[in-house]
Amino acid sequence: MRTPLTIAVDFDGTIVEHRYPKIGNELPFAIETLRALQKKGHKLILWTYRSEIELDEAVEFCREKGLEFYAVNKNYPEEKMNDKISRKILADLYIDDRNYGGMPEWTDIFYSLHPEERVAIEQTKSKSWWKR
């Protein structure tokens, strides 16, 4: 197995369509891919511009779909934020629609981190691989 990564994930435009301050429709395979990455041992941090009520709504949206984050806008759950600490998240990988080159497909993200799964899927031609 690949070494688990800490992955910072944006919300608006990445997990859901841009509708800030409302929550847009979920992007295809976003939640399923993130849950599959968690099953592989990766730590997910929600890293978003949202704060206060809008942030709570985003966290609850994901929770209702079975996605719990390791931390939210922090490097680790117990971190106390103040004006002297940067909001930059220390992560191995950042998934954000504002990446240079734009937002790749969620399945491409998963396969780039776990190429062995692409072979398994192509052999079975199963669309339910996310449930493993």
What the block records as the tokens of 24 is: 């847009």
Evaluate whether residue 81 is within a structural domain.
yes
Q: What is the CATH number of the domain that holds 30?
A: 3.40.50.1000
Q: Which amino acid is residue 49, in one-letter code?
A: Y
pLDDT at residue 38 above 80?
yes
Tens digit of pLDDT for each residue in 50-90? 999 999 999 999 999 999 999 999 999 998 877 666 678 99
Share of the chain above pLDDT 90, in %: 73
pLDDT value, residue 94: 96
Evaluate whether residue 97 is within a structural domain.
yes
SS3 47: coil
Evaluate whether residue 24 is within a structural domain.
yes
Domain of residue 79 covers: 6-131
Evaluate whether residue 1 is within a structural domain.
no
Tens digit of pLDDT for each residue in 89-105? 999 999 999 998 999 99
Evaluate whether residue 123 is within a structural domain.
yes
Contacts of 122 (CB under 8 A, 6+ apart): none
Closest CA to 8 of 105, 86, 76, 78: 76
Q: Please tell me the total count of domains within the chain.
A: 1
